[in-house]
């Protein structure tokens, strides 16, 4: 079987009962809800291709079934910068298709194995869990889907050039093709961030491509511009960064984000690190109690108002209740490094070489894996 025969079903939330209007082969949904539970939540009109089904679900009242390739046009078009180098867009098309196919055939394990929630330890992570009754939702939780969008020609070309292609591991499985903004010079392994198991083709290795500090300003801007819309904001693309954090900030985050009060935060001690150096367990010493916290995303949330760039950092106490954090990378660092991949594309590597570099041992195939 080939991917071009496949369809994906998308669960779409609406406000109130769905208001639909047929427009030729398409259906106009007049009250699609976007940004659910965010302050910018609103309704929009969306033009949907494919089949429409109304459900009894409380939130996702519409299910839209459409060909996988049609769906990818809608989502890759809205996620990617159309100015990005073509080989980078092609690499991303293969990754997005692998992700969506994984949802359709349900290959990824979302077990809670390894999660801990005890008085003295919180070890947890977030992942997109499987939906009931459909493959993916239309919100940012999965990938943003708002029906038919104006698709930039560059994205159309990238999807067409890689039509049906997905990433397959040496054992014939679909690769869980993770990616992040910048690995910071070394990629991370799966269990530092999620379930305690090794994933094929997600390995830790040195990445020379994302070191934008080594480039002059003009070259650096060229790489950042290729993938970021607001590239001025992040001068080094997250390759290196530094920030400070105070005990008051950590205490506030512990209370608001983790519902814990351990008194005054006295000390921060790194207990374990992943292969790239990302902290996966942090011991927070308080005046009333101690707390062990992990994995990487939870540590990033603990030490910043929103998120720290990454959990690959060194801690240095600079005053009582104040620490300097010097870090590398932006995001979890597992799988493809977007800044490194953009630079490889600008240097003339094609998408096959980019994918082979970031997912070692993988191959590109148009066949759907059968042994998952």
Residues engaged in binding Zn ion (CB under 5 A):
137, 141-142, 183, 207, 210, 337, 340
Residue 212, CA distances (Å) to 95, 97, 205, 304 in order: 24, 29, 18, 24
Q: With respect to Zn ion, which residue has the nearer C-beta, 36 or 273?
A: 36
132 vs 371 by CB, closer to Zn ion: 132
Tell me whether residue 152 or residue 185 sits nearer to Zn ion (CB atom).
185
In whole angstroms, how large is the CA radius of gyration of the chain? 22
Question: Is-contact 158 76, C-beta < 8 A?
Answer: yes
Angle at 235 between CA 233 and CA 238, to 5 degrees: 95
Q: How far is the CB of 37 from Zn ion (least distance, A)?
A: 12
Least Å distance between CB 243 and Zn ion?
Answer: 20
Residue placing its CB nearer to Zn ion in the complex, 110 or 257: 110
Give the nearest distance from C-beta 337 to Zn ion in angstroms.
Answer: 3
CA distances to 12, 254, 288 from 123, in Å: 32, 14, 20
Question: At closest approach, how far in Å is the CB of 209 from Zn ion?
Answer: 6
User: Is the CB of residue 327 less than 8 Å from the CB of residue 336?
Assistant: no
Distance in angstroms (rounded) separating the CA atoms of residues 135 and 34: 18
CB of residue 80 to Zn ion, shortest distance in Å: 18
The Cα 183–Cα 12 span in angstroms is 33
- Calculated CA dihedral for residues 220, 224, 226, 232, nearest 10 degrees: -110
C-beta of 134: minimal distance to Zn ion in Å? 9
- Choice between 158 and 337, CB closer to Zn ion: 337
7 or 141: CB nearest Zn ion = 141
Q: Nearer to Zn ion by C-beta: 126 or 198?
A: 126
CB of 333 to Zn ion, least distance (A): 7
Both tokens of 350, joined, read 């094609």
Q: How far apart are CA 27 and CA 14, in angstroms?
A: 14
* Cβ-proximal residues to 52 (8 Å cutoff; 6+ apart), any chain: 20, 27, 29, 62, 63, 64
């Amino acid at each position: 079987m080939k991917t071009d025969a496949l369809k994906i079903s998308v669960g779409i939330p609406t406000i109130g009962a769905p208001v639909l209007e047929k427009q030729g082969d398409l259906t106009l949904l007049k009250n699609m809800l976007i940004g659910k539970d965010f302050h910018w939540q609103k309704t929009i009109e969306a033009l949907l291709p494919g089949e429409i089904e109304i459900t009894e679900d409380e939130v996702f009242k519409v299910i839209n079934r459409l060909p996988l390739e049609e769906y990818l046009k809608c989502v890759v078009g809205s996620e990617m910068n159309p100015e990005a180098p073509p080989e980078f867009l092609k690499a991303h098309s293969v990754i997005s298709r692998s992700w969506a196919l994984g949802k359709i055939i349900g290959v990824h394990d979302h077990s809670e194995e390894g999660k801990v929630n005890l008085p003295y330890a919180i070890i947890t992570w977030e992942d997109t869990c499987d939906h009931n009754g459909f493959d993916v939702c239309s919100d940012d939780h999965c990938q943003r889907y708002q029906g038919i969008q104006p698709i930039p020609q560059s994205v159309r070309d990238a999807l067409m050039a890689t039509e049906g292609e997905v990433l397959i591991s040496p054992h014939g499985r679909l690769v869980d093709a993770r990616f992040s903004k910048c690995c910071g010079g070394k990629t991370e392994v799966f269990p530092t961030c999620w379930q305690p198991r090794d994933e094929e083709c997600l390995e830790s290795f040195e990445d020379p491509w994302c070191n934008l500090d080594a480039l002059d300003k003009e070259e650096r801007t060229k790489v950042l511009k290729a993938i970021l819309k607001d590239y001025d904001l992040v001068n080094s693309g997250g390759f290196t960064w530094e920030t400070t954090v105070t005990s008051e900030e950590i205490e506030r985050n512990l209370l608001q984000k983790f519902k814990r009060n351990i008194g005054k935060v006295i000390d921060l001690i790194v207990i374990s690190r992943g292969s790239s150096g990302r902290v996966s367990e942090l011991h927070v010493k308080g005046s009333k109690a101690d707390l062990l916290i992990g994995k990487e995303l939870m540590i990033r949330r603990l030490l910043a108002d929103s998120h720290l760039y990454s959990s690959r950092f060194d801690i240095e106490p600079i005053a009582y209740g104040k620490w300097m954090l010097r870090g590398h990378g932006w995001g979890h660092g597992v799988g493809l490094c977007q800044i490194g991949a953009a630079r490889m594309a600008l240097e003339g590597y094609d998408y096959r070489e980019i994918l082979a570099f970031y997912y070692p041992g993988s191959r590109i195939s148009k066949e759907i894996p059968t042994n998952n």
